[in-house]
Amino acid sequence: MNYDEFDISADDFENLLFSVENNIAIIETNRPKALNALNNELLLELITVIELVAISADIKALIITGKGRAFIAGADISELQTIEDSFAGRDAAMTGQNIFNALAALPIPTIAAINGFALGGGLELALACDLRVASPDARMGLPEVSLGLIPGYGGTQRLPRLIGQGRALDLILTGRHVKADEALQLGLVNRVADDALTTAKEIANSIIKNSPIALGLAKESVVRGLDTSLSQGLEIEADIFGMVTTTADMKEGTAAFLEKRAADFKGS
């Protein structure tokens, strides 16, 4: 990996690994002895990389996975135990939410390759990604109530939007873990694959063949529409459709289709 574009080196990170393969950025959480639990240092490194990815013109997709037998097994409980008042607790929640919001706001496709335990904050991070691929031995859940807490990094908001209120409350109120096959049935993950990372890369490669402008605007249309009524969402879609029809990528894509050739998208 050439870090020159980012003005960083591999030594700048202690809690994650960062690489780029064929225009696909890969973040691998790297605290295997702690099952990749989210401590403050890992969160800081994570937002650093997200911000770098956001300004890179060469990165077309992002995959997040974990080293060892966990994706992310939750927040670092020892740090949570030091919270002394509600103001500090709110700040801790807002820190996690802001980082995951930055991930969700990326205009490029994002995929969580869930290779093992994705619990608490780990599942909340996966929920902030566009797509989720789980290995057969993955275990997912929001067990915060068993610790006297609630999900604080977006879980109570993103999970019901993804799988519905009743199913979300089942997971949140019981705190139970679900296996990959049930997660697939619930709509919590998009695919189950023996090698989650390899499949995530295959999905990313199939996505980035398309127009980057169209990908970003399609994502924007879905996200903005979810926060409105159907009629308002349709207006958003129409507005964005109008925008995309004026792009060079649209001219290239339609011409390539008519000429029976592969499109050469420039992202403009």
Contact 72, 27 (CB under 8 A): no
Name the pTM for this structure: 0.93
Active centre residues (catalytic): 124, 144
Euclidean distance between CA atoms 36 and 30, whole angstroms: 6
Q: Is 4-207 CATH 3.90.226.10?
A: yes
Name the residue ranges covered by the structural domains of the chain.
4-207, 212-258
State which fold the 212-258 domain adopts: Lyase 2-enoyl-coa Hydratase; Chain  A, domain 2 (1.10.12)
How confident is the model over 190-211, as pLDDT tens digits? Answer: 999 999 999 999 999 999 999 9
Q: What is the mean pLDDT of the chain?
A: 93
Residue 1 reports pLDDT greater than 50: no
How confident is the model over 247-259, as pLDDT tens digits? Answer: 999 999 999 999 9
Residue 133 reports pLDDT greater than 60: yes
Euclidean distance between CA atoms 184 and 241, whole angstroms: 31
Q: Count each helix (H run) and each strand (E run) in the chain, helices first.
A: 11, 10
Least confident of 61-75, 79-93, 111-125, 206-220: 79-93
Please report where in the chains the tokens 């050469």 appear, as a residue: 264
Euclidean distance between CA atoms 6 and 223, whole angstroms: 28
CA 224 to chain CA mean position, Å: 17
215: alpha, beta or left? (left if phi > 0; alpha if psi -120 to 50): alpha
**Percentage of residues in the chain having pLDDT higher than 70:** 96
**Could you count the other beta carbons within 10 Å of the beta carbon of residue 267?**
14
